[in-house]
């Protein structure tokens, strides 16, 4: 005899390019076993048929909270959400480059943490390969339009040079941890790789390409059980060029996995 699992209440924190799609898909009933219970984020007012509440009320209402709000929100609320017993699906994986935050979330609970694979593919095979023997080095080359890589800390000459380039230019090369303070919003894929392959050294290269219409991530790894090269080319979100359109659907896939365990 099979018994169906009870429907779980899901809250969405952040109503931007990821959160708005996630909330709309949930409201449309596209994730079996999940019901949108509320949203945290003023931008949702008048755009959803569920209450717009604060984080504490969301954790009281929801079995699972999906963070789509950014690094600061994860830092401010992540541990408290888990301590309340609510499971947490994290979109802002790049924030976890911060070891202190990782330690705080690891120590929090009883809620469980689920990281989305977000804009990246091929992780299942890479994680399997690394479990046979860690890769000495994994290379990630991310290419975006120059405007998606402009940062607040850049001075006018740096910004003008980046925006005015007529050929691809490497703007950063190093580890995900080194990139964290410089390109915090372009770190999610690098951090995902680094977290999933903790014993491998992940080298990140960020390229600004004025001709780029898609966001490209090329992952290369070489180990005793195989040589891998994955290239994904995602269309950027119309509302946020730093985020790929596929990400909300990856987040919903992570939610489905969270509901299954
Ligand atoms: N894992 C991945 O592959 C991946 C890919 C792209 C983006 N991301 C990350 O996902 C996060 C969301 O991305 P996005 O493109 O939707 O960003 P966005 O800027 O379009 O939307 C974020 C929304 O959250 C809101 N917000 C911020 N703090 C809040 C708080 N405390 N309470 C309520 N609302 C709050 C903002 O006002 C904004 O509306 C970012 O951290 C981004 O870096 C992850």
Q: Determine whether the shortest distance from the Cβ of 91 to ligand 1 is under 6 A.
A: yes
pLDDT surpasses 60 at 1: no
Distance in Å, CA 19 to ligand 1 centroid: 7
Distance of CA 18 from the midpoint of ligand 1 (Å): 7
Q: What percent of the chain has pLDDT over 90?
A: 91
72 and 162 in a common domain = no
How many domains is the chain built from? 2
Model pLDDT, residue 5: 73
Pocket of ligand 1 contains residue 43 by CB under 6 Å: yes
Q: Are residues 229 and 250 in the same domain?
A: no
**How many angstroms separate the CA atoms of 18 and 9, rounded?**
19
Q: 159 and 220 share a domain?
A: yes
Is residue 51 assigned to a domain?
yes
Residue range 61-88: mean pLDDT, rounded: 97
User: Measured between alpha carbons, how far is 37 from 49 in angstroms, rounded to an integer?
Assistant: 9
Clarify whether residues 109 and 133 are in a common domain: no
Q: Is the pLDDT of residue 237 over 80?
A: yes
Higher pLDDT residue, 220 or 238? 220
CATH of the domain at 189: 3.30.360.10
How high is the pLDDT of residue 185? 84
pLDDT of residue 4: 65
Nearest to 173 by CA among 151, 140, 146: 140
Does residue 2 sit within a domain? no
For 195-208, the pLDDT digits (tens) are 999 999 999 999 99
Question: For residue 3, what pLDDT is reported?
Answer: 59
> In this structure, is residue 143 part of a structural domain?
yes
Q: Are residues 194 and 142 both part of a single domain?
A: yes
The helix-helix angle for 247-260 and 19-27 (nearest 10°) equals 50
Shared domain check, 203 and 255: no
Verify that 139 and 185 share a domain, yes or no: yes
Ligand 1: atom nearest CA of 94 is 43
Residues 129 and 69 in one domain: no
Residue 173 lies in a domain: yes
Whether residue 15 is found in the same domain as residue 105:
yes
Q: Which domain CATH number covers 25? A: 3.40.50.720
Catalytic site positions = 217
Residue 1 lies in a domain: no
Average pLDDT of every residue of the chain: 95
Residue of 41, 77, 116 with the most ligand 1 atoms within 8 Å of its CB, for mutation: 41
Which residues make Cβ contacts (< 8 Å) with residue 261, sequence separation at least 6?
none
Q: How many Cα atoms are found within 13 Å in the side-chain-facing hemisphere of 62?
A: 33
131, 160: one domain: yes
Stronger pLDDT, 10 or 2, i.e. the higher one: 10
Confirm or reject: Cβ of 243 under 6 Å from ligand 1. Answer: yes
Residue 2 pLDDT greater than 60, yes or no: no
Ligand 1 in reach of 142 Cβ (< 6 A) = no
**Per-residue pLDDT at 187:** 87
CA 140 → CA 124, 137, 194, 249, 251, distances in Å?
Answer: 16, 10, 10, 22, 21
Ligand 1: centre distance to CA 205 (Å): 23
Q: Is 72 annotated as a binding residue?
A: no
The pLDDT of residue 208 = 97
15, part of any domain: yes
Q: Tell me if 241 is assigned to some domain.
A: no
CB of 116 shorter than 6 A to ligand 1: yes
Q: Residue 48: is its pLDDT beyond 80?
A: yes
Q: What is the dihedral of CA 238, 241, 246, 249, to 10 degrees?
A: -80
Please check if 128 is assigned to a binding site: no
Atom of ligand 1 nearest to the CA of 185: 43
Q: Are residues 16 and 110 in the same domain?
A: yes
200 lies in some domain: yes
pLDDT digits (tens, 9 = 90+) for 180-229: 889 988 889 999 999 999 999 999 999 999 999 999 999 999 999 999 99
Pick from 100, 91, 110: which is nearest to 237 by CA?
91
Show the domain range for 190. Answer: 123-234
Q: Is the domain of 92 the same as that of 187?
A: no
Radius of gyration of the chain (CA): 19
Mean pLDDT, rounded, for 27-44: 97
User: How many Å lie between the centroid of ligand 1 and the Cα of residue 71?
Assistant: 8
118 lines ligand 1 (CB under 6 A): yes
pLDDT in the model for residue 44: 97
Q: How far is the CA of 103 from the centre of ligand 1 (A)?
A: 22
pLDDT at 240: 87
Of 14, 87, 59, the closest CA to residue 243 belongs to 14
Cα gap 12→200, rounded to integer Å:
33
């Amino acid at each position: 005899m099979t018994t169906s699992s009870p429907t779980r209440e899901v809250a969405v924190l952040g109503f931007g390019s990821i959160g708005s799609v996630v909330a709309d898909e949930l409201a449309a009933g596209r994730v079996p076993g999940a019901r949108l219970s509320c949203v945290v984020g003023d931008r949702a007012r008048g755009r959803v048929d569920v209450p717009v509440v604060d984080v504490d009320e969301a954790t009281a209402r929801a079995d699972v909270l999906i963070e789509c709000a950014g690094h600061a929100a994860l830092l401010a609320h992540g541990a408290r959400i888990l301590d309340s017993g609510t499971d947490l699906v994290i979109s802002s994986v790049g924030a976890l480059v911060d070891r202190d935050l990782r330690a705080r979330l690891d120590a929090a609970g009883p809620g469980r943490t689920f990281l989305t694979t977000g804009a990246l593919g091929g992780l299942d095979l890479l994680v399997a390969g690394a479990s046979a023997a860690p890769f000495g080095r994994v290379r990630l080359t991310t290419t975006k339009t120059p405007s998606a890589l402009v940062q607040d800390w850049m001075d006018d000459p740096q910004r003008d040079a980046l925006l005015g380039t007529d050929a691809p230019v490497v703007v950063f090369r190093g580890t995900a941890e080194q990139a964290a303070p410089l390109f915090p919003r372009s770190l999610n894929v690098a951090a995902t790789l680094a977290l999933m392959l903790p014993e491998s050294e992940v080298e990140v290269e960020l390229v600004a390409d004025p001709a780029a219409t898609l966001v490209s991530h090329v992952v290369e790894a070489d180990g005793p059980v195989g040589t891998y090269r994955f290239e994904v080319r995602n269309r950027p979100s119309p509302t946020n060029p730093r985020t790929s359109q596929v990400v909300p659907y990856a987040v919903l896939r992570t939610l489905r996995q969270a509901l299954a365990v």
